[in-house]
A = this chain, B = another copy of it.
């Protein structure tokens, strides 16, 4: 298991981590897939198009529209943030990507995005090669 660290800047923010994941996988040592896992409860990970930065903003806005601010009763130390937790469960804390010749077998338009739902914060991502 290898660890990536990152810092987010906004409350809801998609941050592309494709290259960081690729680096964390070297050497792949014959692995068949890479598990990208987020050990947080108000963040997740997704795969989507990385060519147009407007799309990341559209996904951020959509998550805030599907789960509205104000939903729920849960509070963390910093105040009420149930929507951040709910958005994290909808997106999922993990994604598993096949490898081909030791590299992520992503589709032509695909990139891997860390999904911050309660930033800004210091965050971690675990990358685990699987056989």
- Contact surface of A with B, Cβ cutoff 8 Å: 1, 32-33, 35, 37-41, 46-49, 52, 54-55, 57-59, 61-62, 65-67, 71-75, 82, 85-86, 88-100, 105-110, 124, 126, 128-131
- B-chain residues with CB within 8 Å of residue A75 when the two chains form the complex: 52
Instruction: Tell whether A33 pairs with B67 under 8 Å between CB atoms, given A73-B57, A92-B92.
Output: no
State whether B48 touches A89 (Cβ < 8 A). yes
Closest to A127 in B: B98
State whether B52 touches A74 (Cβ < 8 A). yes
How many identical subunits does the complex contain? 3
A126 to B90, CA, bound (A): 21
- B-chain residues with CB within 8 Å of residue A35 when the two chains form the complex: 33, 96, 98
- B-chain residues with CB within 8 Å of residue A96 when the two chains form the complex: 35, 37, 94, 96
State whether A55 touches B82 (Cβ < 8 A). yes
A89 to B39, CA, bound (A): 19
State whether B85 touches A33 (Cβ < 8 A). no
Across chains A and B, which 7 residue pairs bring their CB atoms closest together, nearest first? Answer: A39-B107, A58-B72, A55-B74, A41-B49, A58-B82, A98-B128, A46-B89
